[in-house]
Every structure is written in C-alpha cells, then in structure tokens.
C-alpha cells in the first residue's frame, strides 16, 4: 500500500478524521508486517512524541485491524531486531505419546490384575521392562499415574475393552459414639475415660494408665496395659466396668481410636451403656490426669 500523500503526523490525523466510516484493510500477514515496518521508518517513530506515537498506532490499527496489544508487541519487536515476517513450516498432526499398542498393554495389565491403583499399575509396567526385560513395555514403562487415570477415563480403546472400570475409593465414615457432653443431673453412672502413657525408661516402653472417673461421685478406677491395642484394651475395660459399684449409664471418651472402635462399641452395646465422645479436643485433660496420677 502506498501512502505518499501522508508524510506528517498532521496528515495522519486528517486521514483518520476523514475516513472514520471507511473500512480499509490490508490482507495477508506478510503485507501487514511490511506496511507496519515501512510506516514506522517513514514517520521516524523513535523520534516522535507520545502524541505522535498514539497517532501512528491508530493509523496502523485502522489499516491492519490488529488489536492494540498485538500492535504494541510488533512495534516492540521492530525496535529490538526489526520486523520481518517468517512463514512457519507446515506441521503435521501431533503424534500421540502412547500408541494403541501401549494402551493395549495397559488394558492387558488391568485385566490380569483387576484394575489396581495407578501407582501399583505404573510399578507393574515399569518392572515388566526394567526387571523382566519385556521390550514391548519400553515406552509405556515411563507413563505417569495421572496419564493412566486419563487413559482409563477418556480413551475409547480402553473404555470399549474388557478392563474393569476404575472408580476412586469413596471414604465411608462410620460414626461410633454421640458427640455431646455427658448430662448426669446429679446421678452416678456417667463415666469419663482417658489414657496416659507413663513414659519410657532405659529404652523400655512404659505402660499406659487407663483411668475411669465417675462424673458425680468421682469414684475412680485405674488399670494398666502394655499397649493400646484391642488385645489388651478389651479385657481390661470389661473388668474395670464390672468393678464399678453402680450401674454405668454413659461412657464418655475423647476422640482416640482406642475407645472409638467396633470392639469397645460392642462391649458397651451389650451392657446397654450409651457411648459419647468429646465435641472438640481438650489439651488440659491429659495434663490433669498426669498431675493426678503422678506420671
């Protein structure tokens, strides 16, 4: 495009004002790049004022239909190293990283193992190549766990196979005990329980003190176990509950797993004892027990 009649910034301003309703457009990226370069050189863009810069930009935008941000990028490129259009080479379709043969190996592995987790499946594929020397696993041996999930979820080759469908494990929360404060109303039989570790000495593991205290009478029974496990806790709790001189109505504990488990719940259900648990952690409880028991 020739712009011999436009030689000053004033000429550009008149041109822009007089052609507001005219749609002029240069076609082709190469022609646009050449036009931008010639215009910047002809109007000595580097020496213009801020107002002159704005006028030249509006002129270039009108003829090239480039957005302001793109035009600024091209002007910056021209300032740094000149503006030259380079035709990009033709590119074919992107080659997938994992071929149908690789996916078939994944399907074969999942069928044999019952669609295990991606971590376990990745390790199996890796061992097939690096440990057992199965050369067909060379490419898929480096697959990531995330890509295994993507193939299982989206690849039609996998979805149409006999492999088991993978679904994430849904956590199941079984609530044991009611989260509330015991309400004895002056009656005995509302028991609080807690455990305190005596501490280790000379490399030997210390015992655990199990403390039962009645809310109202403050009647207390203390037992000891070498480990906080079902093997020791179940018989101890049964014996301690049987020694209390009143009917136990409520068994209240913190949120520790030594009390909130199926075996303790079974014992309490058999004795028709209500089980409650703390609404929140109380850091003072164990300190009070340590001072009380001298451990």
Report the alpha-carbon distance of residue 195 to residue 258 in Å, rounded: 9
Domain extent, residue 69, equals 9-81
Run of H or E residues at 144 = none
Residue 39 belongs to some domain of the structure: yes
Q: Note the pLDDT of residue 150.
A: 92
Total of domains in the chain: 3
Report the alpha-carbon distance of residue 19 to residue 95 in Å, rounded: 49
CB-neighbour burial class of residue 265 (10 A; exposed 0-12, middle 13-18, buried 19+) = middle
A 10 A CB-CB count for 35 gives 17
Residues 183 and 280 in one domain: yes
Question: Which has the closest alpha carbon to 8: 71, 61, 51, 69?
Answer: 51
Cα-to-chain-centroid distance, residue 291: 43
Residue 282 belongs to some domain of the structure: yes
Residues 45 and 121 in one domain: no
The pLDDT tens digits for 114-153 are 888 899 999 999 999 999 999 999 999 999 999 999 999 8
Q: Which segment of 4-18, 97-111, 182-196 scores lowest on mean pLDDT?
A: 4-18
Place of tokens 């039609």: 156
The pLDDT tens digits for 205-258 are 888 899 999 999 999 999 998 888 888 888 888 899 889 999 999 999 888 777
């Amino acid at each position: 495009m020739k712009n011999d009649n436009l030689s000053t910034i004033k000429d550009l301003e008149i041109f822009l004002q007089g052609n507001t309703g005219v749609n002029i457009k240069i076609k082709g990226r190469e022609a646009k790049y050449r036009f931008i370069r010639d215009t910047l050189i002809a109007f000595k863009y580097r020496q213009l004022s801020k107002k002159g810069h704005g006028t030249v930009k509006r002129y270039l935008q009108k003829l090239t239909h480039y957005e302001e941000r793109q035009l600024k990028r091209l002007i910056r490129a021209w300032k740094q190293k000149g503006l030259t259009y380079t035709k990009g080479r033709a590119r074919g379709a992107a080659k997938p990283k994992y071929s149908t043969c690789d996916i078939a190996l994944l399907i074969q592995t999942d069928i044999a193992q019952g669609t295990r987790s991606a971590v376990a499946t990745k390790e199996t594929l890796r061992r097939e190549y690096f440990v057992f020397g199965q050369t067909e696993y060379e490419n898929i041996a480096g697959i990531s766990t995330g890509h295994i999930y993507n193939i299982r979820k989206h690849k039609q080759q996998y979805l149409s196979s006999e492999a088991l469908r993978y679904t994430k494990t849904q956590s199941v929360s079984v609530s044991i005990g009611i989260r509330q404060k015991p309400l004895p109303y002056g009656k005995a039989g509302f028991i609080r329980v807690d455990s305190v570790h005596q501490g280790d000495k000379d490399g030997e593991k210390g015992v655990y003190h199990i403390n039962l205290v009645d809310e109202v009478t403050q009647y207390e029974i203390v037992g000891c176990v070498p480990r906080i496990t079902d093997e020791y806790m179940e018989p101890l709790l049964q014996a301690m509950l049987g020694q209390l001189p009143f009917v136990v109505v409520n068994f209240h504990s913190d949120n520790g797993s030594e009390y909130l488990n199926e075996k303790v719940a079974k014992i309490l259900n058999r004795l028709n004892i209500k089980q409650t648990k703390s609404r929140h952690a109380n850091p003072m409880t164990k300190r009070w027990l340590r001072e009380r028991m001298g451990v």
